[in-house]
Structure 1
């Protein structure tokens, strides 16, 4: 068993009492601390903000670790009595599956340690206690946090390394290295790629990202593999697809079409290959040759970045060619700036309320149907006067009335595709 680098020394009762008060104060805002810390890590460390699911797991891991540290401080629990949180271990495993470097994981923990100690120092400085006691409290808190980070870092790093070894040997990753090298541009030898994978690059391709929203034990890699092959058959692919697992719930795939230029229809594919509530698909546009192989994949991952945003429409199949997906995928790369812009353009229409949602939907359909009240009413199965009332109300607001229609239409698309992540929280009375 690996020893801790430093075990905190026993503290005096008066020190422990102040540390317990510090823990109580931290606990009151632990959710905000975790959210802000996760945001900082995601923006400071490469590859931690790859997609919405990874960000969600990062925040859960940070929250779990902060909660544990607060519990240790409040109750003077020995570090060697602890068990790591499930969220922290699962996050380490997911990074290993995604081939995120282990130093990114370790750096996140040390960055979190520094940020948490800054917060603790600020809290302690507000306490009305003697200088001698302040120093003792700071030292004990620092010792506890340091020892915890040392212990948890060793644990999750070992878990990461074991998972990385297991993952690279898994059946679904036989061609992973070759595919990643081709996508990154580090391997320009197409003949070697084709010889290793059996997949011909000199043809038309359609890239897919297929993922499960359920637990990996319910819908694992083998199920996703079969689903991709069924999608290929439904789309009329010439030969079997090439598939690589990205993590236990996600695969990348390419469907080969030879010289034919396919036109996959998301609605047709969703109907032809029944997708239960746990599986979803993002599709790129057709591309030819090596460049098309890469570009179609970029488009599929862009569609995935939009489709995987929490609390949004759960369409089973989303294509990069779907209305608004391409441009919204670019805007989603800076969600904070996009949110501010949406609020500026839509004003009250950006509020997360049923009435605002109804107006947004009607106005979006109105723009999509050439600003025709009749066509909008027919599409939404509403009376024409109802449509007129909603449009007048939506455009009657001074904020919306003064904006360019192109801005309005785009902001409405952003709301439709990114959901609550860009909406203004409803006002509470």
Structure 2
């Protein structure tokens, strides 16, 4: 196999280098706003957009999403909190950097394998994911990515140029896969050796047993975790929204501060890799529920999700599951807030368990009112406020700081765009408006619409 980093000469692949740059630069995503779904840092994405253009990078973000979905479909063991987020970042880092590399003649393999790609092993070790699953995931991702790149080149290039382009794609993707597999295995071994010597490993194993429903002695749990499972618990998930590494102890201290501020007298805090923390706070059973965490404002860049209080071991598990669901909403939301209470987003968690179904629902309920752009957004916001205020024009006008007649006009325009009155399927209408408000107007765009 030709070394993809140093390939030169008169080979047909070399001759097609300029054309390859042309076809990859012509790639476009299915969803116009695909870049908004990127999970890498804004700085990284913006730099790549400047070099290659928004179309190819948006396409790469979509390819990365497909890679992650393919991995989870084949290896469901990887769908665990903490690891799945890092896996998506790794897929995206490889996809966007590969696109950037194919857009120019010189191919730097080390640049494609950026640090974001190797964040997964730390999460995998802590979550009990085996190296065999990671290596298998690389193969699954390679198969999916190869198909997508080949399809894109085949659609863009004339028949006489396809062979050279397809050969180049295969060489470079196989080079990436080969080096990624060896480096990932080495990083996994290094992280695992370090992790197994820590007390955190013992605590994490015990917590996993508790969350899975295994029988665990209360006395042993209290001794190992230094935390009483018989009390009333509120679970947290604390994470950083960007790919940047938080400072040492920032997430752990944030979790402890949130729990103290909301009246919890004891805390269990467990780091889940480098950018995520699970935590529980407890109060004496029978006491009134502790205050909401909503009043706490974490450090910029840090986000907090909380479950509802629950008693005993079952409450420990249930509150944690709710915190994970609230975190899922928080990671996808377009809203600027940094605290996510399950009690505030429980409906959204239920509505979005099937993302594709939720998107179709929004489009069906809102019709043309789901259109992108500021004008439609103002109409949706006004209509939601109007419905939230029990269809009171005066109350909505006061909340929006506009005239009563302005609200009436906007509601009328919204009804016209929707094609139905606000009283028709009102509950569904409010749910659809809530989804678009939370996740942005691109949430209403489905693949079929694009």
TM-score band by shorter chain is 0.7 to 0.9
CA contact (8 A) 2:68 2:91 kept: no
Matched, 1:255 2:284: no
- Within the candidate set 232, 252, 277, 1:225 is matched to 252
CA distance in 1, matches of 2:389, 2:396: 6
CA contact (8 A) 2:372 2:441 kept: yes
Matched, 1:419 2:440: yes
Q: Which structure has the larger Rg?
A: 1
**What is the CA-CA distance between 1:391 and the residue it aligns to?**
1.9
CA contact (8 A) 1:173 1:245 kept: no
Superposition TM-score, scaled by structure 2 size: 0.78
- The root-mean-square deviation of aligned C-alpha atoms, in Å, is 3.5
CA distance in 2, matches of 1:204, 1:49: 25
CA contact (8 A) 1:41 1:48 kept: no
CA distance in 2, matches of 1:214, 1:109: 24
Q: In the alignment, which residue of structure 2 is the partner of 1:290?
A: 313
**Residues 345/59 of structure 1: CA separation in 2 closer, same or farther (3 Å cut):** farther
Q: Can you list the C-alpha shifts for 1:373-414, whole angstroms capped at 9, x where unaligned?
A: 222233333332222222222223353438400110111111
CA distance in 2, matches of 1:244, 1:180: 11
SS state at 2:272 partner: strand
Q: Can you list the C-alpha shifts for 1:334-362, whole angstroms capped at 9, x where unaligned?
A: 22221121111112222232222222222
Q: Can you list the C-alpha shifts for 1:237-268, whole angstroms capped at 9, x where unaligned?
A: 2x3211111122221111111123443444xx
CA distance in 2, matches of 1:389, 1:340: 27
Matched, 1:107 2:136: yes
**Residues 185/116 of structure 1: CA separation in 2 closer, same or farther (3 Å cut):** same
The equivalences for 1:87-236 within 5 A come to 87-96=116-125, 99-119=128-148, 122=151, 123=153, 127-129=158-160, 134=163, 142-167=170-195, 169=197, 175-213=203-241, 217-220=245-248, 222-236=249-263
| Structure 1: tracts of 5 or more residues without a match | none
**What is the CA-CA distance between 1:279 and the residue it aligns to?**
2.3
**Residues 63/206 of structure 1: CA separation in 2 closer, same or farther (3 Å cut):** same
- Within the candidate set 35, 57, 70, 2:89 is matched to 57
CA contact (8 A) 2:93 2:116 kept: yes
Matched, 1:377 2:381: no
SS state at 2:395 partner: helix
CA contact (8 A) 1:207 1:297 kept: yes
**What is the CA-CA distance between 1:309 and the residue it aligns to?**
1.1
CA contact (8 A) 2:370 2:441 kept: no
CA distance in 1, matches of 2:165, 2:383: 58
CA distance in 1, matches of 2:435, 2:198: 38
The equivalences for 1:394-409 within 5 A come to 394-401=414-421, 403-409=424-430
Q: Can you list the C-alpha shifts for 1:14-55, whole angstroms capped at 9, x where unaligned?
A: 343136534542343243653343233322323358589547
Which moved further from structure 2: 96-105 or 327-336? 96-105
CA distance in 1, matches of 2:13, 2:205: 53
The equivalences for 1:257-336 within 5 A come to 257-266=283-292, 269-271=293-295, 273-310=296-333, 312-322=334-344, 325-336=345-356
**Residues 422/64 of structure 1: CA separation in 2 closer, same or farther (3 Å cut):** closer
Aligned residues: 407
CA distance in 2, matches of 1:246, 1:78: 32
Q: Can you list the C-alpha shifts for 1:61-82, whole angstroms capped at 9, x where unaligned?
A: 232452376269x44x596x77
- Within the candidate set 8, 15, 20, 1:17 is matched to 15
CA distance in 2, matches of 1:148, 1:248: 25
Matched, 1:389 2:387: no
Q: Can you list the C-alpha shifts for 1:85-124, whole angstroms capped at 9, x where unaligned?
A: 2332335555555554433432332223323443565546
CA distance in 2, matches of 1:215, 1:171: 27
| Structure 2: tracts of 5 or more residues without a match | 28-55
CA distance in 2, matches of 1:83, 1:321: 41
